[in-house]
Structure 1
Amino acid sequence: MTSDSPPTKRRKFEALNDAQLRAWIRAGEAIVRADGRGLTFSLSKAGTAVWSLRYRFGGRAREVTLGRYPEMGLALARTEALRLLLEVGKGIDVAIAKQEAKKEAARRWTFERLFDDFLQKRSGDYRPNTLDEIKRYAVKDILPRIGSMHADAITPA
């Protein structure tokens, strides 16, 4: 730029801050706001606040969810977004990689692990006698037959 040319207009960019995020959540209106470098904060009408990373890969617009706010704070979201952008720079489509990792994790779950997870999360929904009966039936009849099978290989038949 020479000294004779007029200055170019640049849109002033303001990074997000926690006070803004909390105010938007209190307001309860659906919004989408960028923090910079592809990091985006989205708030649904239902009140779900989510961080995502928008990037381009192979000429196509892509997006990957990073986590929910406030479980994932602003600083952690920025760090994670930067880490993923470095992966994109290495030629990795991070959205596809995340999908594949989820599929692989699902394949690693055995029926026994799935049953243990069920007991841990839902045991409070049953009376003690009913819970004992479920456990007895599983240990005696189900787990010896299919407990070691991968959960995704089990069908109703």
Structure 2
Amino acid sequence: MTAPAKYTLNQIDLGALIAGVVAVIFSFFPSFIRAKETEELVGKYKDVEHLSNAWFSYATWGMILVILATVVVALIAFAPHALPTTIPWRPIAAVSGILGAVLLIIRAFTLHQHEKIQGVVDLKIGLGWSGWITVIAAILVAVLVSLGVARTTKKV
């Protein structure tokens, strides 16, 4: 009787999986986008803060693509026999991860600057703490999946 073969997980794939899970978890926190307004009400100033998660506008498509890249890497790592061998899955995951990260970055830096709202003295819009974690984790997914493609590409 032979001993079962030891299974080792590629470190690049493991890093991409961890980064993908972190990106998905932190995308649900309501601090992806943080808008802080200072309103003037009868001579008094009041700070109002509006929070939003990453699941709005085209950041939703970015998150879906990051999830797709993470799922493809998980299937390659844990169930490679379940995927057809004629399709280049790693490049598909890389393109998906890169496009998802780019969409999140674009959404983070093209937040709507509201017109002058009556009574609003100051309006600051930017990424919150979970927004930065989500964007950095999505960039890590894109980089690590791309490194996985470069590592497994065979020269002809």
Identify the TM-score tier after normalising by the shorter chain. Answer: under 0.3
Which TM-score applies when normalising by structure 1? Answer: 0.25
Q: Which has the higher helix share?
A: 2
Which TM-score applies when normalising by structure 2? Answer: 0.25
